[in-house]
Structure 1
């Protein structure tokens, strides 16, 4: 808490003293992000920006139709109440005040909610802030205050056999994702979407705690999402595409620190064949180094090709080698000594992706393909490209109607379950790691796809859109951690215990004067909750959310 307050106060004082062109829209901002993507898909926004590296910078958005009402309402208004200081050399504006709320009736549900936690009951997040610039310097001060009721709920059954607990402890020992965040109510202040930047033309260098999102996915992203709270990092990135003879490029390179949750499992005394199952994690922060880059070939308008690569290792393992601090510039393959590479306490994840915008058809197609373990060499990659893979595929299309409304059809499929190569080749689940006990997490939540290790999801839905108003219906199926299921129950020939959530989601977003509202309601049927089968083991859950933003 003291470190957070120090970061916030320093940012605020710096802003007041020095209060450009680097204002961003936070990842997950209701209505604005999805509207910009939809306008780009329909040809209103310029198609030179990929929208796959977020947060999105205002300067990266250019509009083909300057009179478009929807774009002007959501963009111009937010910049129309600015003020000047330092004899006109500095400019500032108040950022939207936003209150996000959600409620889970039976057990935690939902992801991509930033500093919010997995909790049952009521939860709220309040954010506010100030943006200011003077010369090349920009300050975005936007802290977040989170409160969660954090009520008790039924967790992993203590009645399971030791062999099942052995499989469960694999994830407890190699992944920092507590079922419950302590006892009683939870309250915490975060730096939130704050940053201090030096901007030069299309480039920006700074310190930030903003949520990040890399890749084209909407429900999930393999490498980087706002599922966990943002971590403090140094960033070097483009604020708008950089042109070259072969097309335009966007990128972001990040180095930062990941924190542990500090929460221990409820039961650490379980044993299996005389050995204690629980293994204490190393009490050390983790160093994160990652980069994402996209390329739009000049010969194919609307096509974006991208790659992201990240490394995580304990701070105590860094040493003094340059390559330890910037492993993203090291070789892609393990090389000859595979055993030595596997023994190093360093976790690498890599993905490639594309996004294809089709303005004439008012549609887009996108996909991301990633690996949780890099190949030994090119031959290994060619022989088994599916080893440790995960993927996301999505499609969206707009249809015009005679009533002045657009209908949007969308679908997305995510698969993080280990592939069949596990039968002949050992591999860990996504976001877990044998040498790094916290896995790929920050403060107890996965940084990538919110559904988590071994999970799969399929979603399909329709949105009815009229200007800045939207009403949507979505059907979604999530299979939770099939990697655990097959490891624990397959040897027992105990089929039919998959934990599957089937949900119907209704959502509405609307804009009235200075306010943006967003409401959603999910009716969830959890089949075999906590992998328990039999009569009465299926449960109902309600996930409800409501947010309101005030634009100055």
Structure 2
């Protein structure tokens, strides 16, 4: 069956006119300087208000604070906002100090003309056609106690488009085309419209200067990346989890230490390769998984603006008897697999990911640089680490440069890249099973979306160059992206021969010169404060070369947002 990929012109015209009318051609008399108000609900993990606070740090407006463990507590947010008296949005006098406060109500519409496209949008999955998402919330604080309720609901029309046949039947036919036996990452969420209601950034927390503890369903972010975190970010829905850590960096004189440990539960989509019961048994691997992570950040004395961190992340089988004492202590287990065997743990069912990272901010220069080195697989011993240091590796590099101008404007140039494409080590051993594992065959996902980098699994990469201007009436930006979604090659033969499964669909041969599936996207966006609401629009035009290792395909992504605040 041939599926029409182009969008009816009248639909694009209507949507584009709406975006222009609401944002790009707004009446200047309706615009206001700075948002009417700001509340805790504006500073969810990965939000544009959180990004704004980071820019203020770089520009020397807000105080320095480690950025590699998020989300922030209400106490941390208040401290960061307190410094914004001279920034473009001047949030300090507008920040709500109420014990109970209604957050902004947001309505977002996303249109994809040819195929799904979107990243770092939490629970939302934007398929082909129109996707409508709504979010609202309320939060309250009383002393060290804070409570938030911030649900998200969305509906994707999920119009049909060509997918890569994976040889499966039923709902599994919609799962990923490559690695379909070992990852829960649908190409399309079924044949009909797709909708979900998610708890969003909801939770309860006790927080002080010295310690924090709580329960949340919101997204967490590990590491210094702004768009491409290896371990955990906002690309997938949040999951229920308990956490405990330091309330603020603890001063040990030689350095300050900031840490957080998390224990949670992950779920799969209806299109997962895993079927059967929720628990892990000898016969079934279980539709649900436990997860845990520990992150430690050091701020060494004498190196102002520097944070160095390490994090470990585990997928753990949801066996009968779990969560056990072993699960609660999992983040502190020995480093190498050899030592685990020596202690009697020979099952090897859980999957570990780990990373080491740094971020260094120079406020006087308006500059920050940051990087991360991640690993998908646990090393057997120190010898393996030394001789095969590129085994299942990932690296991320980034910088942001802020320029303070007149009229309280800040311009930011950003560059960030992440890469886990095939290393030269693939000539010697199986490589590029990044975000994949066995016997837990959902991969590094929650409800069918990647928890870390949105680019893909196996061998993928992404890079971003952007310009953003923060001004008293809003934000304007332009972005150029390159995304390697998938990569075929001889390394797949090794996985097929020794890994126990075929990464490619049955009978599928990659045509010559079609081995790399890559997107080039150019986008512009604008967010503007007005008397009655904040309005935003974003337009991205892209070309997908060798989509699904076959033909090229263009797509137009248009997003329009309206955010209403309390008066």
**Counterpart for residue 414 of structure 1:** 418
Instruction: Report which stretch shifted further, 336-345 or 284-293.
Output: 336-345
Question: Would the alpha carbon gap of residues 62 and 25 (structure 1) be closer, same or farther in structure 2, given more than 3 Å must change?
Answer: closer
**Counterpart for residue 182 of structure 1:** 190
Unaligned runs of 5+ residues in structure 2 are 1-38, 274-282, 494-503
**Counterpart for residue 67 of structure 2:** 51
Q: Contact 1:46–1:63 (CA<8 Å) still a contact in 2? A: no
1:252 and 1:508 map into 2 onto residues whose CA distance is 35
In the TM superposition, 1:131-142 aligns within 5 A as 131-142=139-150
Q: Name the TM-score, length of structure 1 as normaliser.
A: 0.83
2:40 and 2:205 map into 1 onto residues whose CA distance is 8
Question: Would the alpha carbon gap of residues 300 and 158 (structure 1) be closer, same or farther in structure 2, given more than 3 Å must change?
Answer: closer
Aligned-residue RMSD, C-alpha: 3.0
Structure with more of its chain in strand, by fraction: 1
**Counterpart for residue 286 of structure 1:** 289
**Counterpart for residue 361 of structure 2:** 357
* Residue-by-residue CA offset, 1:441-462 (whole Å, 9 max, x unaligned): 1001111111121211122122
Q: Contact 1:485–1:498 (CA<8 Å) still a contact in 2? A: no
Q: Name the TM-score, length of structure 2 as normaliser.
A: 0.81
In the TM superposition, 1:335-350 aligns within 5 A as 335=338, 344-350=348-354
**Counterpart for residue 152 of structure 2:** 144
2:218 and 2:63 map into 1 onto residues whose CA distance is 25
1:551 and 1:78 map into 2 onto residues whose CA distance is 12
1:549 and 1:444 map into 2 onto residues whose CA distance is 28
**Counterpart for residue 430 of structure 1:** 434
Question: Would the alpha carbon gap of residues 460 and 317 (structure 1) be closer, same or farther in structure 2, given more than 3 Å must change?
Answer: farther
* Residue-by-residue CA offset, 1:7-31 (whole Å, 9 max, x unaligned): xxxxxxxxxxxxxx9988212323x
In the TM superposition, 1:54-69 aligns within 5 A as 54-60=70-76, 61-62=79-80, 67-69=85-87
Q: Contact 2:163–2:177 (CA<8 Å) still a contact in 1? A: no
SS across alignment from 1:316: coil
SS across alignment from 2:337: coil
* Residue-by-residue CA offset, 1:40-91 (whole Å, 9 max, x unaligned): 00111111x1122222334223468563253533x543415x2xxxxxxxx2
**Counterpart for residue 550 of structure 1:** 564
1:395 and 1:524 map into 2 onto residues whose CA distance is 24
2:538 and 2:560 map into 1 onto residues whose CA distance is 7
**Counterpart for residue 336 of structure 2:** 333
Specify which of 503, 513, 517 is matched with residue 535 of structure 2: 517
1:95 and 1:403 map into 2 onto residues whose CA distance is 28
Question: Would the alpha carbon gap of residues 135 and 189 (structure 1) be closer, same or farther in structure 2, given more than 3 Å must change?
Answer: same
Question: Would the alpha carbon gap of residues 52 and 518 (structure 1) be closer, same or farther in structure 2, given more than 3 Å must change?
Answer: farther
2:259 and 2:340 map into 1 onto residues whose CA distance is 32
Give how far 1:224 is off: 0.2
Give aligned pairs, total: 497
